[in-house]
Structure 1
Amino acid sequence: MTVSAAHLYATFCLATVFFQIGLIAGLPLGRYTQGGKHDGALPLSGRLMAALSIPVLLFMALAILSAAGFPGLGWPQWTGWVALSVTCVIAVLNWITPSEEERRVWGPVTSVMAALAIVVMTA
């Protein structure tokens, strides 16, 4: 169960990385991110924020995979707790955003991610 939860969490992280790449490339998805302030493509500052989130997402995925015992990682256990904490903060922010689109899409997605990380970290 723990390994499956970790794999699913990492898959959500990877899907989010692809979403961020789309934002960087100029896809008109501004309503679904960063508070929905931009209708359409993000400006340069928003694209830079999307780019900065990619290594964070990859760190989170690897930390949860490591916590689940994925071979070859062996990261300290605290990295999984950091990933869980960041995921929970992101979930709360996605539920309180002024963007209805962001709440409808990312609120549930990040809540599921938080639940998966809890499964892994409390196993």
Structure 2
Amino acid sequence: MPAAIALTVILAVLAAFQLALALGAPLGRFAWGGAHRVLPTRLRIGSLVSIVIYAAIAALALDRVGLIDVVPDAVSTIGMWVVFGYFVLGIVMNAISRSKPERYTMTPVVTLLALLSLLVALS
């Protein structure tokens, strides 16, 4: 349960970051490849979609450990393994980013998210 809560808290912080990006904060060097200081419209929309994805992942994790009950157990079990794979792919993508700020900030964050999602998947 602590891993699911920690995962949810980190995702909430990332959701706030993505909301700031979507609203035009000049933090683009930390996301989406780091090519834009202020994101263009299509990437702002991507940031909004990311918030929805983060919420779904948090709900899945909390369901998996029994804090909420929104999907069948098989869905949360398989879903958390998919989330783990998603974050492992995220490690690779952030590690090869051309943006040093993104690479040095987001790679450790996504590594932590992968570890926490693995712990939730194994629970």
TM-score between both structures, scaled by the size of structure 1: 0.90
Number of equivalences:
120
Alpha-carbon distance, 1:74 to partner: 4.3
The residue number in structure 2 matching 1:41 is 38
Distance in 2 between residues matched to 1:74 and 1:47, nearest whole Å = 29
Runs of 4+ off more than 6 Å? none
Where in structure 2 are the equivalents of 1:84-95 lying within 5 Å? 84-95=84-95
Distance in 1 between residues matched to 2:65 and 2:71, nearest whole Å = 10
> Runs of 5+ in structure 2 lacking a partner?
none
Deviates more, 1:41-50 or 1:81-90: 81-90
Note if contact 1:5-1:120 (Cα within 8 Å) is conserved in structure 2.
yes
State which of 21, 24, 28 in structure 1 corresponds to 2:26.
28
Alpha-carbon distance, 1:18 to partner: 0.5
The one-letter amino acid paired with 2:2 is S
Where in structure 2 are the equivalents of 1:99-118 lying within 5 Å? 99-118=99-118
The residue number in structure 2 matching 1:64 is 61
Distance in 1 between residues matched to 2:11 and 2:108, nearest whole Å = 14
SS class of match (1:69): coil
Alpha-carbon distance, 1:106 to partner: 0.5
Distance in 2 between residues matched to 1:71 and 1:25, nearest whole Å = 31
Alpha-carbon distance, 1:119 to partner: 1.1
TM-score between both structures, scaled by the size of structure 2: 0.90
State which of 38, 47, 51 in structure 1 corresponds to 2:48.
51
Deviates more, 1:87-96 or 1:16-25: 87-96
> Runs of 5+ in structure 1 lacking a partner?
none
The residue number in structure 1 matching 2:96 is 96
Deviates more, 1:105-114 or 1:80-89: 80-89
